[in-house]
Structure 1
């Protein structure tokens, strides 16, 4: 123990001077004139399905038409459809369709940010067979830089970006969907009268 202490003390005594200088950098802004259309085009290109809805009341109609004869559907939209959280993520292992609320979305790459407050359990968006994310069109930002400037001041315990269905490909150019998560991703963009075309 004495030799260990001596080594650690010597390391502490020989630390370099930590005079860090703030890096100066400039990010050329990406100006997207229509965030919704860009977001839809990007999602389609990476294998997701995109639809627009006027109100959250259309969710039931969408579910019946898109996933007929499917009984294992879980919908959790805080403020609209509330459910009691399970104590273990394994309780959701048989969910065929999970419909959740995305916190915000990124037009440039189709990524959707979702936090623990909107997913019941952090395993749910990855353990279900089909994932449906609802995004308000006013929560679509232009770039990841814009997204991080928003989420860095938010309060959450866990969050992740999701873009497209789970997929993997090998050197033989064979694409497999659902390899590590949901086989499909559907995004429902909730329309609003207040359309935002840029990020303030």
Structure 2
């Protein structure tokens, strides 16, 4: 046994046996917005994202179809709108570098920040959310939580191998405050509110 092991074993053996429960963290949701969807939309726009208003009737995916109409390579992980690049056949993540549009569904969204949570289950291959030129995200309005305090209590942070908040497109700013979108990742992030199969719009 090394000196390091001796030290660590001694620390473990002498840990104080005191029950100190973690403090209760409030959810800060005493005054939620009247509409989580409207709050999410406003904050998404503030962070450089684009909200796609679905038509009142007809093809709910029409705004997405319009955006990808002239795209050469579309990679989709959602059953609602298949692309022409099958992500299940991708072996090397770098081969996604020629993807014009990636279409994914978020686990949930956060009204407070305009963020969407994308996990390994949503993306199937994490690189698709970063190497594609443009990212289109489907979100069920029923999956919008009021703030980050609620977000961090979601099961996705316990059950998934990977989870990342995306708040608008990639952005960077120099010391003079000139903001550039798409410098280090997707050039645009668009969100379409679309209930999951069997879900209902309740916001």
String of CA shifts for 1:97-138, please: whole Å, max 9, x gaps: 111111111111101012112212111101111111011111
- State the TM-score, normalized to the length of structure 2: 0.81
* SS state at 1:42 partner: helix
2:100 paired with 1:99: no
* Structure 2: runs of 5 or more not aligned: none
2:113 paired with 1:109: yes
Shift of 1:58: 4.2
Match of 1:33 in 2: 34
Match of 1:196 in 2: 202
Q: Distance in 2 between matches of 1:20 and 1:38?
A: 38
**Equivalent residues in 2 for 1:1-200, closer than 5 Å:** 3-29=3-29, 30-53=31-54, 58-59=60-61, 61-78=62-79, 81=82, 83-85=86-88, 86-152=90-156, 155-190=159-194, 194-197=200-203
* Structure 1: runs of 5 or more not aligned: none
Q: Distance in 1 between matches of 2:71 and 2:9?
A: 63
String of CA shifts for 1:50-72, please: whole Å, max 9, x gaps: 0133699543x434422443211
* SS state at 2:137 partner: strand
Assess if the C-alpha contact under 8 Å between 1:78 and 1:118 holds in 2: no
The alpha-carbon distance between structure 1 residues 6 and 190, as it changes in their structure 2 partners (threshold 3 A), is: closer
The alpha-carbon distance between structure 1 residues 13 and 27, as it changes in their structure 2 partners (threshold 3 A), is: same
- State the TM-score, normalized to the length of structure 1: 0.82
Shift of 1:48: 0.8
* SS state at 2:72 partner: coil
Shift of 1:11: 3.9
**More divergent stretch after superposition (102-111 vs 154-163):** 154-163
**What is the count of residue pairs matched by the alignment?**
196
Structure with more contact order per residue of length (Cα contacts < 8 Å, sep ≥ 6): 1
